[in-house]
Structure 1
Amino acid sequence: MNLDACVEAALRVLPAGVGERFSQDPSAVLGELGLKARPVDELTQHRDDDGACDGISFLEDGVILFVRTPASKRQNFTLAHEVGHWLIDQCDTELDWLADQPNAGKQLETVCDRVASQLLLPHRAVEDARGTQPLAARHVLELFESSHASRPVCAIALADTLHELGAVVIIDAVTHVVTHSSVHPDPDRGWPQVFPWAGQPVPPGHRLKQLADQGHFGARSFWATPWGAQQPYYIDARRDGRWIVAVFADTDVWGVERLHLDGPRAFIQRPEGEVYCCGAVQSARGLPCDTCGSHYCPKCGKCGCDRQAQREVLCAGTCFMQYLPHLLVDGLCAQCRE
C-alpha cells in the first residue's frame, strides 16, 4: 500500500462518468454524490494538519463548507479536495493504512490533494493541452483557461509530464517572489542544488523582472539562490497580468540557442543502496524510508513497509486486522482463534 494506491482506490469509488463531469462543472456534480456545498466568507474552524484548501467537510451530514474565491478558481480545488475526503472515508483498507502512518493527517491531505488534481484535470485533458511539443509556459496558461483548475494545479499536472530535469514555476510579477514551484528531478541524478523554490525572490538583474504584461521570452538564463549559489537554465516564460509562468529546463528543449556550452550541474547527493523487489535486485538512490530504513524500489516506488503491506491479508475474524499469511490459521489470527 502507498499513497498512489490510496488515490486510485478513492477514484474507483466514483460512479461511472462522474469523474469526467466533475472536471466540467464541479459544483453541479456534488448533488449526484449526496453532498451539499455551502459558501462562507471565512472559516473559523480549520484542520490541525495544515490542509491545502479553504474548506472543511462534515461527512456524516454530507456538507462541505468552502470559502468563496470569486476572482480565482481556488474554490474548485477546495471542493475537489473535500470530495477526496468523502471518497477516502469509504475506503476502509486505505483509511486504516493511512491511520497507521507517521504524520497520518498530512498524508491524508496529500492523498486528497492528488484526488483533487485528477478530478479537475483528467489525464486526457493534460495530454491534450501539451500535445507532442516540448512543455512551454503557454501550455500552462492554455490549460488554466480551458479548465476549472487553478494555475498551481495546472502547473503540478503538467510538471508531471516532464521526463527530464525541469520545473513549472509561478512568480508574482509585483513582488517578484516565487509563489509555486513544481520540480521534476532528474531521473538518474535526482534533485539539483540550485532551483527556484516557493518563497525565493527572483535574482537581481534577471530578465523575468523585466517581462511586460502578455510578454514572452525564451532563452538561456540562470537562477540564483538567496545564499549566492547560481546555475544556468533554459527558460520559457510568459506573463499574464500579475502572474508569470516560467518553465525551467536543464537542456535547450525549445532550440532557442545555437551554441550550447553548458557546464556540469551540481546535484544533491543521495545515498545509494540495493533492494530486492519486482523479481530482481534493484539499485536505488535516494533517502530511505524513515520507518523501515529500506530504499524505495526505482521501478514500483515501494519501500519495505509497502512490500510487507502488499503481502499481508485480512483476518477472517472480527478484528479486521491484516497479517502475514503464515500468522493465520484457517484464515484467523491468534486473537480471533481464542
Structure 2
Amino acid sequence: MSFLDDGVVLYAPTPNSRRQNFTLAHELGHWIVEQDQGLFDWIADQSDPPALLETVCDQIAQRLLLPDDLTNEVVGQSLVRSQHVQDLYDSSQASYQVCAIAISRRIRGLGAVVLIDSRDGLVHHASIQPDPDEGWPEVYPWRGQLVHEGHGLRAFAPGATFTRRITWRDSWGRTEQFYADAIADDRRIIAVLAGDDIWKVEPTYAIQPREFDKRPLLRLHCCDQVHVFRGYPCPDCGQGFCPTCGQCRCTRAAKSEANCRECNSLVRRHLLVDGLCDMCR
C-alpha cells in the first residue's frame, strides 16, 4: 500500500526472498509516474491505461534492479525462451518477476512472460509486450487469471520442455490463441507467449487475426478522482460509467433527485422535507 503524497510505502517483508525489492521498486515507479505529467498523460491516452500503468511501473522496477547488460548476456541474439527467465534468475539477485519483465522486453512483436503457480494454476505475474502497431489485444494473460487443470501448460511434467500453440482464456471467458514456450518445476510454470509463431512450431498454420482494444478513450471526474479509461459511453448522457461506482451522469442524477409528492417536481433529495419541496410546504 502506498501513500504517494506522503512518500510512504507499507509492505509485508519477505525474509530470504528477492520479492520485497521488486515490491518497493514498483511502488517507487508509481511515484515517478506521478511526478512526470507528460508520462502520465501518455499512459492515459493509450488503450487499457490501468494495465499499462502497472506495466510501466514493472519496467521501472526492472531497470532499477537488473542491468540490461546481464539480460543481453543471457539472451544474446537468440529467440526468447522460457529458460532465459530461469537463467537470468540464476545469474542475478533479481526476483522471478523482475527477470520475467526483462525477458518480455526482448519478445519480437506481441507477447508476454507469465509466471503460473504449478499447484493451483493461478497466474502470479504477467508481463505484457503489446503489439508495436496495434497496441494491447482484447485477450491477454494477467495476474489472478486461472489456468485450468487439463490445459497444456499444466499437463507437462516438471523438468520437461513445452513449445506449442495454446488457447488462452481470460477471466471473462474470452479466448485467443498464442504460441507458448514453457518450462516447469514443482512450484512454478514459466511461459513465454507470442502472438506469432516465432519458434516455427507450425509453419503451415496461420492464427486468425486477433481483436485489439478499439473502445473510445473516456475521461470523467467521479468518486473524488479523475478516471481515464477505455469503454462505451451511456447512450443517454454520453458520459462513461465510472470504474469505481459504475454510474454515469444519468444514474448519479437519479440517485440524488426525487419527485415532490405534491407537485411532482424533480428536486434534490436534501431539499425535500416529508416528501415536499419548499414551494409545497
Q: Which residue number corresponds to residue 193 of structure 2?
A: 248
Contact map agreement 2:22 2:65 (CA 8 A) in 1: yes
- Normalized against structure 1, the TM-score is what? 0.52
Deviations, residues 211-237 of structure 1 (Å, cap 9, x unaligned): 322222101111122433222111001
Contact map agreement 1:80 1:115 (CA 8 A) in 2: yes
Q: Which residue number corresponds to residue 157 of structure 1?
A: 102
The one-letter amino acid paired with 1:195 is Y
Q: Map of 1:1-338 to 2, 5 A cutoff?
A: 47-48=2-3, 68-77=13-22, 114-269=59-214, 287=217
Q: Distance in 2 between matches of 1:263 and 1:153?
A: 32
* Matched residue SS, 1:139: helix
Query: Judging changes above 3 Å, is the alpha-carbon distance between structure 1 residues 270 and 133 closer, same or farther for their aligned structure 2 residues?
Result: farther
Q: Distance in 1 between matches of 2:140 and 2:15?
A: 32
Contact map agreement 2:183 2:189 (CA 8 A) in 1: yes
Deviations, residues 71-109 of structure 1 (Å, cap 9, x unaligned): 4211343565698899x7xxxxx98656xx79xxx9x99
Q: Which runs of 5+ in 1 are unaligned?
A: 1-45, 50-55, 58-64, 89-93, 272-286, 294-338
* Matched residue SS, 2:2: coil
Contact map agreement 2:100 2:127 (CA 8 A) in 1: yes
- Number of residues of Structure 1 aligned to a counterpart in Structure 2: 210
Q: Distance in 1 between matches of 2:127 and 2:30?
A: 24
Contact map agreement 1:203 1:223 (CA 8 A) in 2: no
Contact map agreement 1:185 1:192 (CA 8 A) in 2: yes
Query: Judging changes above 3 Å, is the alpha-carbon distance between structure 1 residues 145 and 269 closer, same or farther for their aligned structure 2 residues?
Result: same
Cα deviation, residue 142, structure 1: 0.6
The one-letter amino acid paired with 1:47 is S
Q: Distance in 2 between matches of 1:166 and 1:68?
A: 32
- Normalized against structure 2, the TM-score is what? 0.62
Cα deviation, residue 154, structure 1: 0.9
Task: Using CA pairs under 8 Å that are at least 6 residues apart, name the structure with larger relative contact order, 1 or 2.
Answer: 2
Percent identity, aligned pairs only, is 44
The one-letter amino acid paired with 2:62 is S
Over aligned residue pairs, what C-alpha RMSD do you find?
3.8
The one-letter amino acid paired with 1:237 is A
Contact map agreement 1:120 1:147 (CA 8 A) in 2: no
Contact map agreement 1:68 1:75 (CA 8 A) in 2: yes
Q: Which runs of 5+ in 2 are unaligned?
A: 42-49, 221-225, 229-281
Query: Larger Cα Rg: Structure 1 or Structure 2?
Result: 2
Deviations, residues 308-328 of structure 1 (Å, cap 9, x unaligned): xxxxxxxxxxxxxxxxxxxxx
Deviations, residues 127-170 of structure 1 (Å, cap 9, x unaligned): 22211111110001110111111111111122122231000011
Contact map agreement 1:176 1:201 (CA 8 A) in 2: yes
* Matched residue SS, 1:232: strand
